[in-house]
Amino acid sequence: MGLIVDFIAGYLVAFVGFVAPGMLNVLAAKISITENKRAAMLFIFGTLTIVLIQAFTGVYFAKFLDSHPGVSNTLKQFGTVIFVLLTIAFLFKGFQVKKPKKEIEIKSKQNRYVYGLMMASFNMFAIPFFAISSLTLASKELFDFSLVSIIVFSIAAVLGTFTIFYSYAIFFKKIEDKADVLINNIYFILAAFTGFVAILSIYRMINS
């Protein structure tokens, strides 16, 4: 059961982390629309290569932090603050009636796999996101930092990311006219999730 929980945790963490419209998933959708699905898949596989490295690095770094209780506890408290701020930010986004549509341009004409590698490498928040998420899960005894667990978590994170990016690439054109409604709902769902995690973290801190 332990590895199954690790897999589910990695999948859900990545799913939640990438489900909101962002640079990478919107680029995957745009490449699929303006070029073809093969180009979009190459781009996605490029991003997934980096996500695998980022997930493994983030969780392995969290393992080091977890072995140093003082640093780990400080980071967990910082993670709680981050979840609270994310909840507020998602609610604010969800309540916005008018949202400026930021057009993401595809400037590069290079190999789409390499382009995916390059663009995913710019996501500097991925490593700390996976680190804080795994520490939060570990604090609730839902994850341990054995090498097998880290590998399973990282692979599941890649699959969770793939689910989101593939869905954007395949279905975004069909729901493009309803994108605003979809985005609003996504932000409220994310706010509920991060708010729930923040409340659990605060409760655990108070009763620890």
Task: Give the torsion through C-alpha atoms of 189, 195, 200, 201, to 10 deg.
Answer: 130
Query: Is the predicted pLDDT of residue 97 greater than 50, yes or no?
Result: no
The conformational region for residue 101 under phi > 0 = left, psi -120 to 50 = alpha, else beta, is beta
Cβ neighbours for 187, distance < 8 A, ≥ 6 positions apart: 20, 90, 91, 93, 94
pLDDT single digits (tens) 64-80? 777 766 655 665 666 67
Quick check: 157 and 13 in contact, CB under 8 A? Answer: yes
Quick check: 187 and 90 in contact, CB under 8 A? Answer: yes
Over residues 77-86, mean pLDDT = 70
**C-alpha to C-alpha distance for 141 and 84, rounded to whole angstroms:** 21
Q: State the burial class of residue 190 (Cβ atoms within 10 Å of its Cβ: 0-12, 13-18, 19+).
A: buried
At CA 11, angle to CA 7 and CA 14, rounded to 5?
140
What integer pLDDT is reported at residue 170 of this predicted model? 86
Interhelix angle 126-139/179-206, nearest 10 degrees? 50
pTM, entire model? 0.73
Q: What percent of the chain has pLDDT over 90?
A: 31
pLDDT single digits (tens) 129-173? 898 888 878 877 788 889 999 999 999 999 999 999 999 888 876
User: Which amino acid, one-letter code, is at 128?
Assistant: P
Per-residue CA distances from 195 to 37, 81, 89, 100, 180 (Å): 36, 11, 11, 26, 22
**C-alpha to C-alpha distance for 96 and 92, rounded to whole angstroms:** 6
pLDDT single digits (tens) 102-125? 555 565 556 899 999 999 998 888
H-helix or E-strand spanning residue 116: helix 112-121
